[in-house]
Structure 1
Amino acid sequence: MGWKAAQKLIRNWKILRGDNVKKHIKQGQGHEGGIFTVEAPLHVSNVQVVDPVTGKPCKVGIRYLEDGGKVRIARGIGASGSIIPRPEILKIRTTPRPTAPGPKDTPMDYVLEKTYDYKSGEGMPNL
């Protein structure tokens, strides 16, 4: 087994190229039985990445550095605990962050306006 690219991504299920499921099929009329490898969907949480040091599959953990940066680390049985670098494709944002206020954004003048005076109780709704 090695690195396998995702062939399809349907909601939270991934279909990987390769032999990820072994299916036991009974012998019947017109076909012989045996153990066959088929492509079947795997849930995203069950897909593991390869540890860069040991080369074994491992789970991903999140840790924070002293400077506040967030990194992915290898965790689990046979994992080295080393930092897993993010792929270049994940570093690029697919949708740019909005820089101008949108039509549903509240203007800053209204946000900073003082509408309640705690000393006089002015601006408090009567319930």
Structure 2
Amino acid sequence: MGWKAAQKIIQTWKILRGDNVMIIRGKDKGETGIIKRVFRSQNRVIVGGKNLVKKHVKQTQGNAGGIFTMEAPLHVSNVQIVDPVTGNPCKVGTKYLEDGTKVRVSRGIGASGSIIPRPEILKLRRHPRPNYVGPKDTPMDVVLEKTYDAKTGIGMPDL
């Protein structure tokens, strides 16, 4: 499924995968859903269970053909994040707390100004890091070996 390349690619995204959003334009206007996938190169998002279209798939050796219902991507300008306090769509701004952490806050007319939490799904890794020792991994005893002593100057390379 191909789309035209975006005319102006958004540099700083305020909508993330796993956010609760409301569709503000289109055939599903006024409905809310969770963002399943983000296409940053096309400025588009897929909202779970919304903007459903029929897809005709030809039968091949690997799969059975037929007519399938699937979610089509929406342009990011057609969705807005739902304010966690009021439940209305709102714009997103950033703010720094007193301890220096950067958070997203709701802003705009009728917004509560509350903090929009980061989605829990972003804390999970899609591809977990391998936890086995491979042939190119450095052994732990070599890593922890002390090779330079600052007081005596032992281990200092001759420059």
Greater Rg by CA:
1
TM-score by length of structure 1 reads 0.49
Q: Which structure would you say has the larger RCO, counting Cα contacts within 8 Å and 6 or more residues apart? A: 2
